[in-house]
Amino acid sequence: MPELPEVETVRRGLAPVMEGRAIARAQVNRPDLRWPLPARMAERLTGARVTRLGRRSKYLLADLSTGETLIWHLGMSGRILVSGETLGAFQHAHPAPQKHDHVVLDMAGGARITFNDARRFGAMDLIATDRVQEHWLLAGLGPEPLGNAFDEPYLVARLKGRMTPIKAALLDQRVVAGLGNIYVCEALHRAGIDPRRKAGRIAAPRLARLVPVIRDVLAEAIEAGGSSLRDYRRADGELGYFQHNFRAYGRAGAPCPTPGCAGTVARIVQSGRSTFYCPQCQR
């Protein structure tokens, strides 16, 4: 499932063709995705101007001139593609409709935004903009890891006394929003922290050092356009490249890349998810 860097990459790709532009025509081809789509969705979107395209955690948020916000989640296989507009060096003509094109937005100016989701694990909803943080998908989320509220004192205080493994604690969206399996594995490897360690038993200075490491990993991933695993594509249809920079994730059996470490990256399973780490330098 796309994590924060992938969703932020998609947001940046969509912003030039959505922000400040009206949705000339919205086409909704089915009544539901993961959950039912909002009533009269096509009618409520058609004619609305996108005043701002933001992101909260792993969700895209399109504020509309109608006073509503479109909440958009890619799910595991969802792809948002832009056609009819030049994105960077690429000019994409409108493709022929595909079987799993569930929502199509024709923007004023000629761009078309198509949401294709073969497995239908994505989601879209509409809510009043002044109540968007009350939506059940967003309420209770922790601070953004790239925002000012996520700092060293916050993380130390938030994890104090917690007996869950540090990896599970960082995946808890109530602690910090947007982190997923890939980037938690990468951050813990860079920080030299064993993913099995109880969060509340890690010394405060070591926990504090996780904050800049997490920020660095996410910033590098965004710069690389995210990580393309399975179905993920950027808005221009191109792949992300951060997977080529993985130090731990998916590298079981490979030599640990930490300078001076002679260990080998291992894979274990935690709460049903693969964890990749170096047993020698992560303690």
Q: Which residues are catalytic?
A: 2-3, 58, 273
**Which residues sit opposite 106 in a β-bridge?**
25, 112
Q: Report how many helices (DSSP H) and strands (DSSP E) the chain contains, helices first.
A: 6, 12
Q: Which helix (H) or strand (E) element contains residue 20? A: none
Q: Are strands 112-117 and 123-128 parallel, antiparallel or unpaired?
A: unpaired
* Residue environment code for 185-213, b if the CB has 16+ CB neighbours within 10 A, otherwise e: bbbbbbbbbbbbbbbeebeeeebbbbbeb
Q: Which helix (H) or strand (E) element contains residue 234? A: none
Instruction: Give the separation between CA 136 and CA 216, rounded to whole angstroms.
Output: 30
Q: Which helix (H) or strand (E) element contains residue 126? A: strand 123-128
Instruction: Give the separation between CA 68 and CA 143, rounded to whole angstroms.
Output: 23
**Which residues sit opposite 277 in a β-bridge?**
266
User: Read out DSSP for 71-98?
Assistant: EEE-TTTEEEEEESSEETTEE-PPPPP-
Closest alpha carbon to 185 in 125, 243, 262, 123: 243
